[in-house]
A and B are shown apart, each in its own frame.
Chain A
Amino acid sequence: MDDLDKIKQNYLNSISTASSLDDLEQIRIKGLGKKGEVTSLMKAIGSMEESERRVKAPKLNFLKTEIIEEIEKKKLLITEENINKRISVEWLDVSRPSRPSQMGKIHPISQVTEEVVEIFSNLGFSIAEGPQIESDWYNFDALNIPPEHPARQEFDTFYVDSNPDSGSPPHVLRTHTSPVQIRHMEKENGVPCRIIVPGKVFRSDYDQTHTPMFNQLEGLAIDKDLTMSHLKWTLEEFCRAFFEVEDLELRFRSSHFPFTEPSAEVDIRCSWEDGILKLGQGESWLEILGSGMVHPKVLTACNVDSNCYQGFAFGMGIDRLAMLKYGIPDLRSFFEGDVRWLDHYGFDPLNIPSTNSGLR
């Protein structure tokens, strides 16, 4: 018995003085390896007398377990010490720039178009589209702008070269999105309708505030009882949602467009303080769009009975809306593809405009 106690004490002593995992392994082999001291003792159990075995066997088992436990305990201790040593010499310069991010940008015009479409689709408007090369008829005549109307001169129209033998007037690059009104209404189930038409339009004008191509949004609502008061509500709802100013005030001013009558230009209340535009407050007004009740002649041009149907139309510049809402200064820079500009004024692709999770 004394032997076993002695053996145990020996092992516990050497375990506690072991300084590495290798030492521990040596101790384990010495005691519990195939030819180890304790293993040999246990092998001898088989040849023992029954009475001796009854006493010795449990003690030997106990001894073995105790050694294993002690080794494991010490193992953990040494491993932790090793980690501590390693940590103390490990150091990372976390101030270094991280890996470059790979997110691109959405052009402000695309973003704002989606915002606008989102708002109007909540008001029941669907999207209609039409061609950018347009016939004289759709771009002008059908919209109550006959060939010699002085208003034609104000459009700065681009003409497309065409077959000179065709006999018809040359096609134009559409000067506004309004021809899509005609294309929509003349369809079989064209009216009643509520449509919006976002798209590119062209005018031969190029200076500080004009580019030969820009983007418009057309709106058209035709039904039996729509009045100019509905127009006002629609535009109010839109402007408030778009500019995110709850009580944004609109001013309707009489104006003239050949394709609407009565016509109105619409301003929003704003202020200019130190060159900074604030919407919704102040004593100034900012013109943002043109609108009116669709002219009976336009309805007639689409074979719509103007005694039965009436409604409103409006048009606004998407680029201008983007400039106003996001404070983008120069229209011309929209179309230059300057990476620095796109990175600054562009939008994160994950910002999908939606009325319930935010428009920007």
Chain B
Amino acid sequence: MKFSFSWLKTYLECDENVNAVLDALNDLGLEVEQVIDPTEHFSNFITGKIVDVRKHPNADKLSVCSVDVGKNQHQIVCGAPNVKLGMGVVVALPGTFIPGLGKKISVGKIREVESYGMMCSEFELNLSDQHDGIICLDEPNVGKSFTEWLKINDPTRIDPIIDIAITPNRPDALGVRGIARDLSAKGLGKFLDRKSNKVLCNYQSPISVILKNNVAEKDCPYFVGRYIQGLKNGSSPEWLVNRLTSIGLRPISTLVDLTNFLTFDSARPLHAFDADKLKGDLVVRKAVNGEEIEALDGKSYKLDNTMTIIADDQGVQAVGGIIGGNSSGCTETTKNVFIESAYFDPVSTAMTGRKLGLITDARYRFERGVDPSFTIPGIEYYTELAIKLCGGKPSTLVCSGSNPYKADMINFREDRVQRVTGIKVPIKRQLEILKKLGFVCDTKKQPILVQAPSWRPDITGEIDLVEEIIRITSLDQLIATPLPEKNFGATISKQSELRQNVNKIRRYLASKGMRECISYSFINETQARLFGEGKDKVTLSNSISSEMTHLRPSLLPGLLTSSKKNQARGIHDFSSFEIGEVFTGSEPGQENIEISGIFVGCDQERNAFQNRRSYDVFDAKSVVEGTLKYLGVKLESLQLDRQVPKFFHPNKSALVRLGKFKVLGVFGELHPHIGLRMGIKKCPVIFSIFPEQIPENSGKLKKSKLSQSDYPSVVRDFAFVVDEGIEAQKIMATIKKINKDLIQEVKLFDVFEGPQAYQQVGRGKKSLAFEILIQPKDKTLEDKEIENLCNKIILEVNNVSGGVLR
């Protein structure tokens, strides 16, 4: 909502400066978004007088002037054709910023003659496009700032423009009048409400208005009209043009300009039909499906039977509360008008406006609630101005329906304001505020009975009154008061276990060199198909881009997309992870926390230490195991399962299972097909962990007892030659099982496989070397016993895997 300071002052008798008003507006909840104060630009310019004009010795079109700027005289070279002795001018002294030129003026030499400043045109001051000559001031106030001169001689040019944001509960503040009322209640000055002058009218309108049943009840319960004959439409007077242009509206013709003026002045949208273009009476009704209107914006709109329209015998002439029709609009030649001042229901206006995709100043006001009791004063004000500016004879009013305003009586308890806000406002002051805002209070009753004014449809309960009082009093009065001691709720474990865990895992993964990413929860359709694994796809009805149509079923597409971008930026070696929600369905709650990560390229940047290597599946496996261990899962209880999702390399990946039904994670190489399709160079290694699948910790805080043996341990190495397809885990488990008491640890320390190995171990074979730690608990082992155990190991491994000692 834009308005000028001088416009505001037509409703507010106020000596305060602009800044005081701005502070008050902010405090009131009428948030100032922008202020354009032209005086800032002009205060550096000085008014002066030309006291001498000579011809420039080296240029025909230039003059050398002496300009009196108060304290002294300056020599200024000027090329303007209108330079004259004794002329009042606007001077920019050296160092002054010239807004129209976008630079500072400095002392200069023009064709060998020194020039100390500049005499400005309107163009140079950004006042207008006029640059044929310099500004000529009638009565220069020599030595004073140009602002001072403008204040006296041309105040509209330095009228500050204020733009405020109006919250949806304040339709009354969509007019200057309502804003002034608020400021007055706050003590910024006296509210000058306009006195409505009865206009003389002595004939009946030839056009009458019929409200059809399907709108009279709710959508348009009240319609007031008036015929004015014999007008002379034309350009609006300067004051009206200034009002409109100051807030960015384009003046059209007086009859139209006045409707716009009242919209912003009194939050009262009206419509003026060219009466000669209407046929028959006006009917307010629901549109018939398929009816059309060519509106004032030059566009055609298709209407349906939920929309309230105003029609004559020829068809639809306006969409109620939103826009008028082109065919019956006023033009320069309009002589007779029919003015509409009606009340349209907020909800139905909003729905119609949304369906038509049409936002107008009228809709904006009607959908928030126009003051129904201002229907007649509004049309009277219009008439008064119209006949003053255009002449003409007004008819008596045509009234259909009745004012829908019903005043609710609200019970208001005196202690409420303090009880809710902690601020003590004397009851006398509370009542005074309400009264100034237009409320009617009946203090004879306890609690007090309060009736809200017709322009405040948002006020429905006691709490609304509290807000009004505190808004006017100012929230500056709040005194910070410590929270009382909490006497409820647990004091331990403030976060869910999952959340605590997730926070720790985040730091664990980052400490492993991975960077945490947060990607959008939206992905595109291809990604959803590739990573959705046939789960229900969750889609948006109104996505904003084809890249953001689906809610992600996995975090991996996001990580892969950013990897591709990083590769494009020349970053090839990195690892990153994300912790976030993934969606399994489109109902609330069908979402799970997932932890996913990606390893791309090499584990280190290039360096001189010769230990750089490509990331492989075991980087992912290590982090998955580390994470699960961190989350309290015993690694021995996990099984690997090669039935992985299709986006993994089928032979270089595994699911991590706990029991039959729980999948805690998955890791492996991305399927090369997908890498290719997503445009990722080198197939990354990826993993996902599903922390919500992990059984809750039993909550044991105590650690199990540590047992350390004092007897010497024995370490033996074994290398077995096995078939390539044999899993190392199988052999390790076999060895451990042989004697759980003695065999404390089995470590795989060497794998020799591939073509080089074939020569030594045979085609299709590989060698696996294990270090086995044998730790007796109650005695020192004899050589014989160790030998027996070793033989058993060799035998068992052979039984289980066919492996032979190398």
- A residues neighboring B (CB under 8 Å): 96-97, 99-100, 102-107, 109-110, 114, 117, 121, 123-127, 129, 131-135, 138, 148-151, 153-154, 158-162, 170-171, 173, 192-194, 200, 202, 204-206, 211-213, 221, 223, 225-234, 236, 251-256, 261-265, 293, 295-296, 310, 334-340, 342-343, 346, 348-350, 352
Give which listed residue, A123, A149, A202, A293, contacts B421 with CB less than 8 A: A293
Residue among B470, B476, B545, B571 having the largest count of chain A Cβ atoms under 10 Å: B470
**Which of B490, B496, B551, B571 is A160 in contact with, Cβ under 8 Å?**
B551
Do A132 and B581 have beta carbons less than 8 Å apart? yes
Stretch at the interface among B215-223, B225-233, B518-526, B673-681: B518-526
Chain B interface size band reads 35 or more
- CB within 8 A of B481: which of A200, A221, A232, A264? A232
Question: Once the chains bind, are A252 and B475 in contact (CB under 8 Å)?
Answer: yes
Can you list 22 residue pairs at the A/B interface with Cβ under 8 Å? A96-B608, A104-B513, A104-B515, A127-B499, A133-B590, A134-B588, A148-B347, A150-B368, A160-B540, A160-B586, A194-B483, A212-B548, A228-B420, A229-B421, A229-B480, A230-B484, A253-B29, A254-B475, A261-B464, A262-B420, A339-B569, A352-B507
Whether B510 pairs with A103 at a CB distance below 8 angstroms is yes
Question: Contact residues of B with A, CB < 8 Å?
Answer: 26-29, 31, 167-170, 346-347, 350-351, 354, 367-368, 419-423, 461, 463-464, 466-467, 470-471, 474-476, 478-484, 486, 488-490, 494-496, 499, 503, 506-522, 538-545, 548, 551, 558-559, 561-563, 565-566, 569, 571, 574-576, 579-581, 583, 586-591, 604-605, 607-609
Residues of B within 8 A of A230 (CB): 422, 481-484
Question: Would you list the 8 A-B pairs with minimal beta carbon distance, nearest first?
Answer: A337-B562, A229-B422, A254-B29, A256-B167, A349-B510, A252-B475, A227-B422, A104-B510
Contact between A121 and B494 (Cβ–Cβ < 8 Å)? yes
- The interface centre, meaning the residue of B513, B539, B590 with most chain A CB atoms within 10 A of its CB, is B513
A123 and B483 CA atoms in complex are apart in Å by 8
Q: Are B519 and A212 in contact (CB under 8 A)?
A: no
Report yes or no: B516 in contact with A148, Cβ–Cβ below 8 A: no
Shortest distance in angstroms between B18's beta carbon and chain A's nearest beta carbon? 16
Docked complex Cα distance between A110 and B581 (Å): 14
A126–B499 Cα distance when bound, in Å, is 12
Residue of A nearest to B604 (CB): A100
Residues of A within 8 A of B538 (CB): 133, 160-161
If A212-B548, A337-B576 touch, whether A105 touches B587 (CB-CB below 8 Å) is: no
In the bound complex, how far is the Cα of B551 from the Cα of A212, in angstroms? 13
Q: Is the CB of B168 within 8 A of A149?
A: yes
In the docked arrangement, what's the CA distance between A232 and B545, Å? Answer: 41
A230-B422, A254-B470 given. 19 additional CB < 8 A pairs?
A99-B607, A104-B514, A104-B575, A107-B516, A132-B591, A160-B551, A171-B586, A228-B421, A233-B483, A251-B476, A254-B471, A261-B467, A262-B466, A293-B420, A335-B519, A337-B518, A337-B559, A338-B565, A348-B510
A107 in contact with B517 given A229-B481, A254-B27, A310-B420 (CB within 8 Å): yes
Tell me the dominant secondary structure on chain A's binding face. mixed
Per the bound structure, the CA–CA distance linking A96 and B610 in Å amounts to 14
> A160 and B515 in contact (CB under 8 A), knowing A124-B483, A232-B481, A342-B576?
no
**A342, B516: Cβ atoms closer than 8 Å:** yes
Given the complex, which residues of A lie within 8 Å of B545, measured CB to CB? 206
The docked-state distance in angstroms from the alpha carbon of A295 to that of B481 is: 21
Give the complex CA separation of A93 and B467 in angstroms.
Answer: 74
Q: Give the residues in chain B near A221, CB-CB below 8 Å.
A: 483
Determine which residue in A109, A114, A192, A230 has the highest number of CB atoms from chain B within 10 A of its CB, and name it: A230
User: Are B586 and A223 neighbours in the complex by a CB distance under 8 Å?
Assistant: no
| A253-B461 in contact (CB<8A) | no
What residues on A are CB-neighbors of B540 within 8 Å?
158-161, 173
A262 to B508, CA, bound (A): 44
Q: Are A338 and B489 in contact (CB under 8 A)?
A: no
